[in-house]
Each structure stands twice: as structure tokens, then as C-alpha cells.
Amino acid sequence: MLRAARAFVQGDAAAHTDGHDWPHIERVTALAVELAHRMGADPFICELAALLHDVPDEKLNESLEAGMAKLNAWLDTQPLEAGTREAVVHIISSISYAGGQRPAVSSLEAQVVQDADRLDALGAIGIARTFAFAGARGREMYDPALPPREQMTREEYRNGRSTTINHFYEKLFKLKDLMNTSYGKELAEQRHGFMVQFVEQFKREWEGRFS
């Protein structure tokens, strides 16, 4: 089952060059498995949900509905117990950041997979993925005249005008305080600090400061 999921997702992610590629899936899955073992969550459910978590992402499909249809069509071909399938679909449907508008996830497995996905948005990898996504979408790096948005609807978060550096303030710097698990929080603190240093250095260089 997990081997089949890997093959399916690897093919689905092959065309993505915006940071939602197969290496991202591999990292999130490895983090989810590690967190599952540390926190006592079901490792199979966490691993399967982590592998599949980007399949229905509305950023990567024509719509969320089209993405969910693709996910469910594949799940229909697999010998998965109804309860396990329901748990996996629930996790995938509930872990997206969505401008911070979603309620906190409830199940331990959802908390684990959400933490794993968010950890891959932090640190050095998170910085690289942020600029890869921005480049793929034609988003400018920085505009001092365009401040970060404080309050956003889901639609504004997805489609409003912003910059790559603003994304750190609008989402990435908030993630460490939204982690669910103790180990996830520990890792997030380390990666958060690296990002703060990066943005400070970016602004110094942008502004031509030499100290």
C-alpha cells in the first residue's frame, strides 16, 4: 500500500517545480514518521497521509474539488479499511494553513502530519521553497512600499498581492507558535531562528547597509 502510494505521488509531483515536489513529500513523510514514533501516533496513518497530503492541494490543481476527486479516485483502487481511509482523508483535508483561518486539528495523527508539513516550510529548506514558489508564480522578492498583510480571508491569502519577503511575516514566522507536538515545537524554534536571521540579512543587503 505504501509502495503504491509512493509510486502514485512521485508521478503526480513530477511536474511541480514550486517547492511542492517529490523531495518535499519525502522530507514531510520522514518527519511525520519520526514524530509519530515519538508522540505515539499511528505510524501507518501518518505515513500514508504525509505521502498523499499535497495530491488535492488547490494550489496544484484546477480546484480543491478536482484535487479531492483525484485523491479519492486513487484511494478507490486501494485495499484500505474504511476507518483508515476516513482518517487519512480527514488529515489531508484539515492540515492546510489557509491564511491561518482553519481551526486547530484534533486527532494526534493530524497534529503529527500538520507539524511535519509546517516544519518543511521553515529553516533553510523553507527559505528555498518560498523563493522557488514565488519564482514559479512570478511574485516579486520585496517591495518596501508594500507592507505585510495583518488580517486576511482565505481568498485574500491565496490571491492577494504580496511579496516573497512579506510571506515570512504573513505565514512563516507564525508557524512556530502553531506547532502541535512537543518535538515539532523544538524543531520549529531552531528553524525559525535561522529564518529571522536570513530576513534581517536580506533587508540589510537590500538597503545597502554594511553593518
Helices (H), the chain: 2-13, 22-39, 43-52, 64-75, 82-94, 108-119, 123-137, 154-159, 164-170, 182-206
Q: Tell me the pLDDT band of 161, cut-offs 50, 70 and 90.
A: confident
Q: Which three cell numbers stand for residue 13?
A: 509531483
What value does the mean pLDDT take over residues 128-149?
Answer: 94
Is residue 192 within 8 Å of 122, Cβ to Cβ? yes
What amino acid occupies position 133? F
pLDDT at 101: 54
Give 206 or 105, the one with higher predicted confidence.
206
pLDDT at 106: 83
Dist. CA 104–CA 202, nearest whole Å:
32
pLDDT at 102: 63
Above pLDDT 90, what percent of the chain?
A: 75
Q: What is the pLDDT of residues 55-110, one digit of tens each?
A: 998 888 888 899 999 999 999 999 999 999 999 999 999 988 765 556 678 899 99
Give 90 or 151, the one with higher predicted confidence.
90
pLDDT at 64: 84
DSSP state of 103: P
pLDDT at 157: 67
Is residue 129 within 8 Å of 93, Cβ to Cβ? no
pLDDT at 19: 84
Residue 153 has pLDDT above 80, yes or no: no
What value does the mean pLDDT take over residues 37-60?
Answer: 95
Q: Compute the C-alpha angle 111/199/168, nearest 5°.
A: 35
Q: What is the pLDDT of residues 168-194, one digit of tens each?
A: 999 999 999 999 999 999 999 999 999
Q: What is the CATH number of domain 2-206?
A: 1.10.3210.50
Q: Tell me the pLDDT band of 151, cut-offs 50, 70 and 90.
A: confident
